[in-house]
Amino acid sequence: MLGHVLEALTGTGLATAAGLNAYIPLLIIGLLSRYTDLITLPGTWAWLDNGWVLSILFVLLAIEFVADKIPAVDTVNDVVQTFIRPTAGGMAFAAGSGSETITVENPADLFTQKLWIPIAIGVIISLTVHGAKATARPVMNVATVGVAAPVVSTAEDATSTGLSLIAIIVPILIIVCLIVMIWLFFRWRKRRRQRRLDRTNTIALPPLR
């Protein structure tokens, strides 16, 4: 039972990471499978550690890394990534949850045979995270005149990397990571609503005479 939970947490962490950056979790899965014993990909996903695939992912990551840090361009990039990130999330969930890792030796049949199930779960998770990211970024850009774009993007890349590594090495910690991320998002939304309310009240006040 615990093994199944850990598999689900591994997939969830990787899919969440893909919602922030489509290529980081796939690249980490491939690199760790190719050069370490931390993860062994099942036959269905063994192509992820192919040298050519890793090279292509690295190039795509480099393009994403630059585009996501330029105000206005990052918004266009988010529109394009609406299709890419959920797809990557589905792949990352299925590949990660169906792999042998240092915490899981025998992946459940649910994640290795019924392939559409983990892919569908990963797509939903990544799409949700991507939606939150794509909604928040334009607001931050307007509020900071674009200054926030490179800072927030770098933080998202770091979070995606951290989530990917934690999901594979210590998947139980994904629970804590998700709680923190959800809390931060709703805290940001609450502060945004409060600022809008304050502006509305300020405009509504009659001028002093």
Residue pair 111/99 in contact by the 8 Å Cβ criterion: no
Q: Which domain holds residue 159?
A: 2-172
Per-residue pLDDT of the chain (209 residues; tens, 9 = 90+): 566 788 889 999 999 999 999 999 999 999 999 999 899 998 889 999 999 999 999 999 999 999 999 888 888 899 999 999 999 999 999 999 888 887 766 666 666 667 788 899 999 999 999 998 888 888 888 878 778 888 989 999 999 999 999 999 999 999 999 999 899 888 888 887 877 776 666 665 555 55
Classify residue 205: in a domain, yes or no: no
The phi, psi pair for 100, rounded to 5°, reads -85, 130
Classify residue 195: in a domain, yes or no: no
Q: Give this prediction's pTM.
A: 0.87
Question: What pLDDT shows up at residue 140?
Answer: 83
Compute the Cα dihedral for 156, 162, 165, 168 and give only its sign: negative
Classify residue 48: in a domain, yes or no: yes
Question: What pLDDT shows up at residue 198?
Answer: 65
Question: What pLDDT shows up at residue 115?
Answer: 75
Return the residue matching tokens 């304050």: 198
Classify residue 114: in a domain, yes or no: yes
Pair type for strands 39-40 and 100-101: antiparallel
Count the domains in the chain.
1
Classify residue 93: in a domain, yes or no: yes
Question: What pLDDT shows up at residue 111?
Answer: 64
Question: What pLDDT shows up at residue 204?
Answer: 55
Give the tokens for residue 93.
């969930």
Classify residue 35: in a domain, yes or no: yes
The CB density around residue 163, as the number of other CB atoms within 10 Å, is 29
Question: What pLDDT shows up at residue 89?
Answer: 95
Classify residue 180: in a domain, yes or no: no
Classify residue 161: in a domain, yes or no: yes
